[in-house]
Structure 1
């Protein structure tokens, strides 16, 4: 079933095209080595991943600042691991993480093939809540930046998905109407509900096997986009 009357395709970046979990784990391995910290990376990640998820939800809802997120997610992880880490070292780890995150650039399976397929038919765009200083590097170093006509990030707009302002800003920048546009992303709250609320079509990239009891198209591989566009 093809979705009709679409001219512009908007993607989320992290967890949708750019394999955040894999790249993040490799970054932590690197910065622990740089700072001579001997932590079991799997034990660390078991605690860190849900804490990071919680902080990003708070950040989307403007309940914590960018600085709170960057320090708090690490500090809370070490507290949960019952490990004493000096606050100055946590700040350094936070900075090192941002510096080195874009040095790993694993993409999800079929990213290039899917973008090549779509590029010949649609204008492509990015809408991301990620930090401005790293998102551009991620896209550039993973060699996908050239696919996209516009890149909209939350720091540029001053609000985060699912706030309608960021979607409207992206549409205005792309010079396209909501009803001619589709949003593809992994976050039901930020990407899917956010886009639907302003009248965009949506595709839910379901990497976590979340079954939605709703009339929303779900895919678990980027190649499946070809079935709808």
Structure 2
């Protein structure tokens, strides 16, 4: 069913528009060569992706700092693979990861079709828990920055989704009414519950196609947004 009262569409970035998994894989390939890390990349990524998700959940809930996130996800992944290296190497890899990551430009399938379709009908915005400089560089290098009127990051807001303050900050920047706004994202807790509790409507992007939730609007591909918008 179409959402008829919407004027503003807010997107999450990673795993929603920007292909985080693919871009992250390319980044690790580059920095492992630079630092001469002798691990099988696919085996490392299988371990790292789960650990990274755990650390982002801790970060969203203010259980770890940015620095702990950046260090811990690598240290725990290496420990899990019984690969020993120094803290200096881990800190160097972490720094290079954030430097190399935004240079990769892969977008999720349908991004470059759905954004022009929506731009003619709504004002588009970003709300992201990512780091300010990194997220802006991702948008710019992948060629989609100009689609968005505002970008609100957790670093700017001082809190992370699902905290209502970041949604209120984003609405204020966008000069948008919550009841005329919709949030689209891949994280049920951060994007869907966070936005709904702040008065926005929501569309859950079941990025990993694992949802067991039936009572919410949801899509499995970006092109499916045309059902609602």
Q: Shorter-chain-normalised TM-score: which range?
A: over 0.9
* Map of 2:125 onto structure 1: 125
* Map of 1:226 onto structure 2: 226
Matches within 5 A, 1:42-53: 42-53=42-53
CA distance in 2, matches of 1:177, 1:215: 24
1:209 is displaced (CA, Å) by 1.6
1:67 is displaced (CA, Å) by 0.2
CA distance in 1, matches of 2:185, 2:130: 13
CA distance in 2, matches of 1:215, 1:176: 26
SS at match of 2:125: strand
CA distance in 2, matches of 1:130, 1:3: 28
1:38 is displaced (CA, Å) by 1.7
CA distance in 2, matches of 1:83, 1:33: 16
CA distance in 1, matches of 2:171, 2:214: 25
CA distance in 2, matches of 1:205, 1:211: 9
* Map of 1:84 onto structure 2: 84
SS at match of 2:103: coil
SS at match of 1:136: helix
Matches within 5 A, 1:137-176: 137-176=137-176
Deviates more, 1:145-154 or 1:216-225: 216-225
TM-score by length of 2: 0.98
Q: For 1:35-91, what per-residue CA distance to the aligned partner results, in whole angstroms no more than 9, with x for missing partners?
A: 122210011111111110000000000010000000000001111101111100000
Unaligned runs of 5+ in 2: none
> For this pair of structures, how many residues does the alignment match?
229
Is 1:37 the equivalent of 2:37? yes
RMSD across aligned C-alpha pairs, in angstroms? 0.8
CA distance in 2, matches of 1:225, 1:180: 17
1:210 is displaced (CA, Å) by 2.5
Q: For 1:128-179, what per-residue CA distance to the aligned partner results, in whole angstroms no more than 9, with x for missing partners?
A: 0001121000000000000000000000010000000000000011011110
1:17 is displaced (CA, Å) by 0.1
CA distance in 2, matches of 1:71, 1:202: 33
SS at match of 2:210: coil
1:214 is displaced (CA, Å) by 3.9
Unaligned runs of 5+ in 1: none
Q: For 1:86-139, what per-residue CA distance to the aligned partner results, in whole angstroms no more than 9, with x for missing partners?
A: 100000000000000011110011101100000000000000000112100000
SS at match of 1:189: helix
SS at match of 2:36: coil
CA distance in 2, matches of 1:31, 1:90: 11
1:8 is displaced (CA, Å) by 0.2
* Map of 2:70 onto structure 1: 70
CA distance in 2, matches of 1:181, 1:211: 23
CA distance in 1, matches of 2:129, 2:92: 23
TM-score by length of 1: 0.98
| Structure 1 residue ranges, 4+ long, deviating more than 6 angstroms after superposition | none
